[in-house]
């Protein structure tokens, strides 16, 4: 085992290398491109066997990934933001093929307006496609989750593609110390891809296809995929336990931080949850009994683990880095669906939306959310959904920008 300073993109590339991927269909898009560049360099130097092919679009890239996986080849690819959306038709299609491969999505906000900064609207747009989703918070977790994801995708009880999600820039271009497992030990954990009855040989031509189906067989196919996704919860738990025994790092379906004696709880996805951990520590010092719940698995959603972790809490605040227009935060909706009807569910489940387009969620905002939750827990009344960047705040930002412009350009007319 070695230890290196790696970006999240570098960690993703190392995960693919350690899994010994055979085929990498690729198309560049910021901020994912570094993953493909790193793999291309290793392939050219002979450090990694396999083949990388650049396609003309994400639509073609995902088509190629699914087709290769359907022939028994271990496949890896990566995309981001608009690229994920451009390939969305094939995201649904290859999941329906039950083609097991791994794709990294480096989350970035969606147009319009255009942004290069991260939020989760891109990855959550794919939640119903049939791909499993695992969300990462650190660069170490990105590398390790790659190994878990290949085991999960290729497991005989699952056979579904997996998206490993990391936040653009906050993880993709941030360097952290990352432990890189020994190559042979990592490959023993992942193991070779066993395609079972799937094969493709030029000397033995065969067709793998499906025709247009009526409602009854179509429903059966979709239900079988749904059952496979549900089975992935137990399969993932076993794989994560085995990984912990081998490498000493455990990644359960949900991460609970200082929740045991908590009265209040934050619920978050992704790298911004590390900000929430720091806020929890400061809030504890200030007398707030607060903790954090971070789902790693989003599809399948770990309903029972969420119920158990949040049971008995006075108030829970879900912080979404996405916005489903006309509804609200997607994670809040998922959490509410998991908790409704459960025993000892929190009386208050509040919704907060922030971090869109990479905007920071400050320590002061976590303190304000905690105060809102504490008051709601005492009154038993759920506060209305809150958007963490309001019109008033926008006006304040513009006012400060105008003042700064005048100070830096005293001869110019006021903007």
User: What is the reported pLDDT for 87?
Assistant: 98
Cβ neighbours of residue 86 closer than 8 Å, sequence gap 6 or more: 57, 58, 59
Percent share of the chain, pLDDT over 90: 86
* Region of residue 81 (left: phi > 0; alpha: psi -120 to 50; beta: else): left
User: In degrees to the nearest 10, what's the CA dihedral of 112, 30, 135, 320?
Assistant: -30
The per-residue pLDDT for 398 is 73
Q: Which residue segments constitute the domains of the chain, with CATH numbers given? A: 2-247 (3.40.50.970), 255-393 (3.40.50.920)
- Summarize the confidence of residues 70-75 as an average pLDDT: 93
Mean pLDDT value across residues 91-117: 96
The model's pLDDT over 363-376, given as tens digits with 9 standing for 90+, comes to 999 999 999 999 99
Read off the pTM.
Answer: 0.93
pLDDT, tens digit (0-9, with 9 covering 90-100), for 177-234: 999 999 999 999 999 999 887 766 667 666 666 667 788 989 999 999 999 999 999 9
Q: Closest Cα to residue 194, out of 15, 66, 72?
A: 72
């Amino acid at each position: 085992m070695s230890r290196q300073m790696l970006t999240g993109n570098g960690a993703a590339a190392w995960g693919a290398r350690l899994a010994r991927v055979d085929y990498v269909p690729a198309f560049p898009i910021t901020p994912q491109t570094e993953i493909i560049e790193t793999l291309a360099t290793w392939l050219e130097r002979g450090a990694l066997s396999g083949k990388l092919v650049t396609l003309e679009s994400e639509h073609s890239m995902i088509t190629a990934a699914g087709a290769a996986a359907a022939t028994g080849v271990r496949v890896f690819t990566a995309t981001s933001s608009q690229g994920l959306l451009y390939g969305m038709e094939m995201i649904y299609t290859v999941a329906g093929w039950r083609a097991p491969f791994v794709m990294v999505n480096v989350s970035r906000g969606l147009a319009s307006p255009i942004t290069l900064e991260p939020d989760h609207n891109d990855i959550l747009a794919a939640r119903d496609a049939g791909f499993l989703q695992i969300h990462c918070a650190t660069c170490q977790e990105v590398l390790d989750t790659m190994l878990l994801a290949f085991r999960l995708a290729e497991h005989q009880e699952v056979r579904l593609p997996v998206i490993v999600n990391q936040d653009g820039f906050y993880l993709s271009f941030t360097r952290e110390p990352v432990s890189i497992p020994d190559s042979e030990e990592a490959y023993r954990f992942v193991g070779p891809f066993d395609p079972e009855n799937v094969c493709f040989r030029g000397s033995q031509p065969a067709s793998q296809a499906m025709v247009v189906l009526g409602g009854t067989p179509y429903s059966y196919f979709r239900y079988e995929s749904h059952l496979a996704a549900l089975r992935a919860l137990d399969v993932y738990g076993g794989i994560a336990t085995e990984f912990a025994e081998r490498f000493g790092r455990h990644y359960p379906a949900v991460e609970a931080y200082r929740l045991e004696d908590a009265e209040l709880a934050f619920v978050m996805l992704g790298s911004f949850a590390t900000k929430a951990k720091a806020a929890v520590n400061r809030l504890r010092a200030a007398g707030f009994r607060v903790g954090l719940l971070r789902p790693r698995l989003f599809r399948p959603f770990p309903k029972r683990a969420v119920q158990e972790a949040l049971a008995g809490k006075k108030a829970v605040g879900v912080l979404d880095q996405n916005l489903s227009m006309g509804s609200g935060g997607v994670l809040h909706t998922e959490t509410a669906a998991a908790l409704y009807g459960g025993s000892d569910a929190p009386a208050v489940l509040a919704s907060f939306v922030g971090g869109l387009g990479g905007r920071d969620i400050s320590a002061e905002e976590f303190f304000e959310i905690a105060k809102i939750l504490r008051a709601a827990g005492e009154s038993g009344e759920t506060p209305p959904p809150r958007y963490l960047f309001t019109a008033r705040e926008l006006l304040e930002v513009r006012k400060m920008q105008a003042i700064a412009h005048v100070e830096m350009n005293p001869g110019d007319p006021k903007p």
